[in-house]
Every structure is written in C-alpha cells, then in structure tokens.
Amino acid sequence: MINAQTPGGVAELSGGRKGILLFNKNGTDFVAFDKLCPNNDCTSAMTFKNRLLHCSCDESEYSVDFGGAPQTEGFECPAIEYRVTKIGTTIRISNF
C-alpha cells in the first residue's frame, strides 16, 4: 500500500464499518472513505486502485475525487465519506 504522506498515496486504517481508506489528493488535501460497499448485501470490503474504490460484489466503482460518487452506470448511492481535518501533522477522521 502506498504511503498517505505523498500526493496520490493511500493508507488503510481500522475503524468505520469495514475499515477506512485515507487518500492524499494533492499533498495538502485528504479524503477518507469507509470500505463498506454501498450495496448493503455485500460482505467484502472495497479495494482501492487508480483513484477509485472498487466493490467486488457488484463490480461498482466510486471516485475519491468526487465525494465517493458512483462511476458505474445504474448506481446512485455514493461511498460513505468521513470528514478529514488536518492541523499541522495531525489528521483527524470523524463523522460529518
């Protein structure tokens, strides 16, 4: 897994429903998403590749650049996003 300290990097963290993915968008802005697939019937955690979250249960994908918006036709529910606050070197992830 790539280090989240570098632009484009990601870190897998514990927490959330299935774990959390913290993504470094550009070196200063971060976003965090739950690895729980928006498809409630899915028991597998989503994976991350090429700036997309991927659900293996239904092959749906969600953009980390656009608030977890679905990128697969026919899907409407976004990925669960968490609030990320960065103060100095401290990053805090919380519910909105």
* pLDDT tens digit sequence for 60-79: 999 999 999 999 999 999 99
In a domain, 22, yes or no: yes
In a domain, 1, yes or no: no
CATH number where 40 lies: 2.102.10.10
In a domain, 24, yes or no: yes
In a domain, 2, yes or no: no
Domain span holding position 81: 10-94
Q: How many domains is the chain built from? A: 1
Cβ atoms of 68 and 55 within 8 Å: the answer is: no
d(CA 83, CA 32): 7
Query: pTM here?
Result: 0.89
Regions in the chain scoring below 70 on pLDDT:
1-3
- Quick one: pLDDT at residue 35? 95
